[in-house]
Amino acid sequence: MKLKLILFFGVWENGLSMDHLLKIQRKCRERMLEREKEHQELTEAVELYERSARRVVQESEMIFTDLIKTIERRRYELTVLIRAQEKAAVRRAEGVMKRLEKEIAELKKRDAELEELSHTDPIHFLQTFVSPLDPPGSSDLHSFSLSPLLSLDDVTAFVSRLRVKVENICYEEFRMVSNTVKEVQIIQLPKPQTREDFLH
């Protein structure tokens, strides 16, 4: 009570009326309510931002996980394709090699027979001689030739180019995503204008 009287008389002595004092108090309360409202709005904005950040992190993790799975699936599919092609190509080549080996064995046998016949009676030689224009096993082996593409190095080059493209896309897209993340703010502060503003 004593403090209130001192304040009252102090205000009165300085020429301030009670109305003026009440007006200051009203403005103080209005400012307080305004600040409480701003504080509540900012609290809600922070909660919204945090929820949004959590959701975006989870969704981004899922998207990157799917992207990694897609790349892993393509890697696996390419490996399976290369192995299947390798198996088929080797099987075809081995089939031709076996036929070649068989024909070589038959030709060696024929050569040995001809060598032996050449040292025997000429009449017997003429009776058993088979024309050299028709050697054994020569019917189907003239239809193959070696492919000029014996290496899969071109595939490595294609995969390397794919890696560069994916890295470039990731770099560009990540740059844009980073800029978007940096632009999203809870509050917008005024642009710094004084030296002190720039230091904070």
Q: What does the pLDDT look like over 26-50, one tens digit per residue?
A: 999 999 999 999 999 999 999 999 9
Lowest mean pLDDT among 79-88, 129-138, 173-182: 129-138
Q: What angle do CA 144, 97, 95 make, to 5 degrees?
A: 80
Let me know if residue 161 belongs to a domain.
yes
Q: 135 or 122, which is more confident?
A: 122
Question: What's the domain range around 161?
Answer: 151-182
Let me know if residue 33 belongs to a domain.
no
Let me know if residue 178 belongs to a domain.
yes
Q: 148 or 114, which is more confident?
A: 114
Let me know if residue 12 belongs to a domain.
no
Average pLDDT for residues 184-189, to the nearest whole number? 80
The token duo for 184 is 């999203």
Let me know if residue 171 belongs to a domain.
yes
The domain tally of the chain equals: 1
Let me know if residue 164 belongs to a domain.
yes
pLDDT of residue 153 exceeding 80, the answer is: yes
Say what the pLDDT of residue 104 is: 95
Let me know if residue 174 belongs to a domain.
yes
Say what the pLDDT of residue 35 is: 95
Say what the pLDDT of residue 184 is: 85
Let me know if residue 146 belongs to a domain.
no
Chain-centre distance of CA 162, in angstroms?
10
Say what the pLDDT of residue 80 is: 97
pLDDT of residue 133 exceeding 90, the answer is: no
Q: Is 128 helix (H, G, I), strand (E, B) or coil?
A: helix
CA dihedral of 142, 147, 150, 153, whole degrees rounded to 10: -170
Q: What angle do CA 45, 34, 37 make, to 5 degrees?
A: 30
Q: 14 or 48, which is more confident?
A: 48
Question: Could you report the per-residue pLDDT of 83-119, keeping only the tens digit for each?
Answer: 999 999 999 999 999 999 999 999 999 999 888 877 7
pLDDT of residue 134 exceeding 60, the answer is: no
